[in-house]
């Protein structure tokens, strides 16, 4: 049965919020990764890569806010500590000293990781009947798969 945020049990709210905090952490780390590469990319494809990396970090910056505010709607704590995000994120940060192809590859893998994390969070929400969180996760997962395809196409 479909449940709204306030209908969910405290344990369901907490479990879904934890999955969403994982999504926020990985989205935030990827935001910084994309902005880092936006700054430091070099080569003949500088223009389009600089622009595409910006499109990614701007999308992710909005998304991390949407995900965190869904956690608040579930009456849970949105974890905004960078150290905690980095520790739990399956996407790692990078020092930005690498070539353009490696940047594209790393961001492609980050998008695939994010798509999987968002799909899992959506599945958990669905198990609890939390259709509205599930919808947010599905939309985010689709966006990450779109970015993964765009990045992958550069390496074909
Ligand atoms: Fe910029």
pLDDT of residue 3: 85
For residue range 41-63, list pLDDT tens digits in order: 999 999 999 999 999 999 999 99
**What is the separation, in whole angstroms, between the first and last Cα of the chain?**
44
Banded pLDDT at 15 (limits 50, 70, 90): very high
Q: What is the mean pLDDT of residues 78-86?
A: 98
Condensed to tens digits (0 to 9), the pLDDT of residues 19-42 reads 999 999 999 999 999 999 999 999
How much distance in Å is there from the Cα of 38 to the middle of ligand 1? 7
- Residue of 96, 152, 94, 143 whose CA lies nearest to 119: 143
How much distance in Å is there from the Cα of 48 to the middle of ligand 1?
12
For every residue of 10-36, DSSP letters joined together read: HHHHHHHHHHHHHHHHHHHHHHHHHHH
| CA 8 / ligand 1 centre spacing (Å) | 42
Q: How far is the CA of 129 from the centre of ligand 1 (A)?
A: 41
57 Cα–ligand 1 center, Å: 10
- Rounded to the nearest integer, the mean pLDDT of the chain is 97
Cβ neighbours around 150 below 10 Å, total = 16
- Three-point CA angle 84, 85, 89, nearest 5°: 120
């Amino acid at each position: 049965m479909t449940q709204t945020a306030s209908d969910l049990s405290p344990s369901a709210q907490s479990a879904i919020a934890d999955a969403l905090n994982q999504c926020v952490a990985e989205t935030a780390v990827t935001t910084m990764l994309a902005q880092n590469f936006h700054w430091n990319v070099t080569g003949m494809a500088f223009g389009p890569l600089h622009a595409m990396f910006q499109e990614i970090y701007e999308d992710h910056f909005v998304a991390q806010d949407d995900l965190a505010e869904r956690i608040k709607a579930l009456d849970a704590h949105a974890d905004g500590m960078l150290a905690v995000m980095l520790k739990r994120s399956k996407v790692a940060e990078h020092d930005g000293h690498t070539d353009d192809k490696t940047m594209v590859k790393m961001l492609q893998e980050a998008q695939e990781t994010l798509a999987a994390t968002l799909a899992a969070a959506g599945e958990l929400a669905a198990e609890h009947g939390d259709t509205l969180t599930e919808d947010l996760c599905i939309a985010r997962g689709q966006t990450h798969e779109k970015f993964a395809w765009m990045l992958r196409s550069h390496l074909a």
